[in-house]
Structure 1
């Protein structure tokens, strides 16, 4: 299986890979020869739909890539209820999954549970297993690389869900497969990755 890192700028991917085969319609650049800052703005302004970044050693290339940006770590969850419906939040005009930054002296698992509880007003969260880690770049005073650790979770809490309004969340709801498919049409590529990973499990 081809190993790669996929980092999104909005919904456009930077695919860090050791393969020189172009298996998509994106241009292929050599990591050591390109300006990552310029590449970020090209993607942010939709002048590129995506790009492959070639590196002969994936882990060394990933370490080099990380050195160019300020990294922020977050954690979140794909939460199932007893009917195996998935918990979604609605924020900034898009359907999303609950997540947030990891605080000082907090483990990844603790942060994931806390963020789900705070953003959705839900209790009795149980961790099942890790799902994957997603990455995206955005600009806030400088270019930030955000890594988010995702967990599969469950909850048997039947109380009314409460969106965390101060975080811009206006709706929280469990969705069945059909409803989730509709919601994901108005979501982010990283969230699609999380949901697809869950389905494959």
Structure 2
């Protein structure tokens, strides 16, 4: 199963013809995807399952319908176990960006994190996962496929947000600050975090 986000609404790609009574279930080969995306954007459709009996063909069919943009990014920890965030479009996000010709995806991820925050001394610890979301560029829908890596650094210098890319802030955040930031982030970003970061802090609960 895959989740492909339109804003914060996930389109489910699965091998099951019916995943629940709330869902509109459509064979992915027959899906009129652009119309469905517009319905999600307008709020008309909130639960969509696109299915195929062979799991390896789900993304294959999706990529036939949408042009793919490949990107790389990082979930970066410093020596104090703080996490590196950027603030753009009124949301807290993680640094990421489009792959350039000739790069492998690890090089893309390292370069983009450095460019967007001016952090130094990055080292990849492990691959996390690949996320998918649909973007609208010049009135055309595209599939952004982002490969995420856990990274670490001992850098303690100043972070400088890449203003040219619309980034307003670059900040290290501790555990509590990260929990707060994730409330103003994106659903696909939350997929990257250990579960303890997504549990609401007792002091934040409304009685």
Counterpart-to-counterpart distance in 2, 1:196 and 1:66: 29
Segments of 5+ residues of structure 2 without an aligned counterpart are 199-207
Q: TM-score, normalised by structure 2?
A: 0.90
Counterpart-to-counterpart distance in 2, 1:177 and 1:36: 39
Equivalent residues of 2:124, 2:150 under 8 A apart:
yes
Counterpart-to-counterpart distance in 1, 2:38 and 2:23: 16
Instruction: Identify the residue that residue 177 of structure 1 maps to in structure 2.
Output: 175
Do the aligned partners of residues 199 and 180 (structure 1) sit closer, same or farther apart at CA in structure 2, a change above 3 Å counting? closer
Instruction: Identify the residue that residue 145 of structure 1 maps to in structure 2.
Output: 143
Q: Deviations over 1:45-72 (max 9, x none)?
A: 2211231112111112321111001100
Counterpart-to-counterpart distance in 1, 2:56 and 2:66: 16
> Is 2:127 the counterpart of 1:130?
yes
Deviating above 4 A after TM superposition, structure 1's stretches of 4 or more consecutive aligned residues are 197-200
SS at match of 1:83: coil
Instruction: Identify the residue that residue 159 of structure 1 maps to in structure 2.
Output: 157
Instruction: Identify the residue that residue 107 of structure 2 maps to in structure 1.
Output: 110
Segments of 5+ residues of structure 1 without an aligned counterpart are none
Equivalent residues of 2:175, 2:197 under 8 A apart:
no
SS at match of 2:191: helix
Counterpart-to-counterpart distance in 2, 1:153 and 1:198: 19
Equivalent residues of 1:131, 1:197 under 8 A apart:
no
CA RMSD of aligned residues (A): 1.8
Count of matched residue positions in the alignment of Structure 1 and Structure 2: 197
Instruction: Identify the residue that residue 51 of structure 1 maps to in structure 2.
Output: 48
What is the aligned counterpart of 1:89 among 86, 90, 93? 86
Q: Deviations over 1:142-163 (max 9, x none)?
A: 1100100000000101001111
Equivalent residues of 1:102, 1:108 under 8 A apart:
yes
Counterpart-to-counterpart distance in 2, 1:120 and 1:186: 19
Which segment drifts farther, 78-87 or 37-46? 37-46
